[in-house]
Amino acid sequence: NLRTTVQFVGPLSVVEPALADHAEAVVREAVSNAVRHAGADTLTVTVRVEDDLVIEVVDDGRGMPADVTASGLNNLRRRAAEVGGELVIDEAPGGGTALRWTAPLP
C-alpha cells in the first residue's frame, strides 16, 4: 500500500502550456519509476511555482544505484535541457530517492 501526498504551491496559471506539458510528463515518469522500482511505502510529489517551476518527487524506498542510466531518467534529463532547466537526483533524508526537476519561468 503506497501512501501518496501531492502538493501544488504557487500560481500554476503562470506556467505556459508547452512547459506544463513537460511538467505533466515529468511527474508521470518520476511517479511511475518510484512505483515500479523503489519498493516505497510513501511517495510525496510537490509542484511549486516560484521564480522557477520546481517538481520534487521523494520516496522512502530502496534508493537508486549510482550507475542507473534508465531511459526514463534520460528522458527527464532531456526535458530539463530542452527548457533550460535541471534534473538532480539524490538520496532522500532517511533513505529512498529525492528527484528535483527545475525549469525557469519566463
Q: Is 84 helix (H, G, I), strand (E, B) or coil?
A: coil
For residue 65, pLDDT over 70 is answered with no
For residue 87, pLDDT over 60 is answered with yes
Chain position carrying cell 503562470? 14
For the domain that residue 91 is a member of, what is the CATH number? 3.30.565.10
Burial of residue 98 (number of CB atoms within 10 Å: 0-12, 13-18, 19+): middle
Provide the whole-model pTM. 0.90
| Average pLDDT of span 19-38 | 91
* Domain count along the chain: 1
pLDDT of residue 38: 84
- Residue ranges making up the domain that contains 73: 3-104
CA angle 71, 76, 79 (to 5 degrees): 120
For residue 69, pLDDT over 60 is answered with no
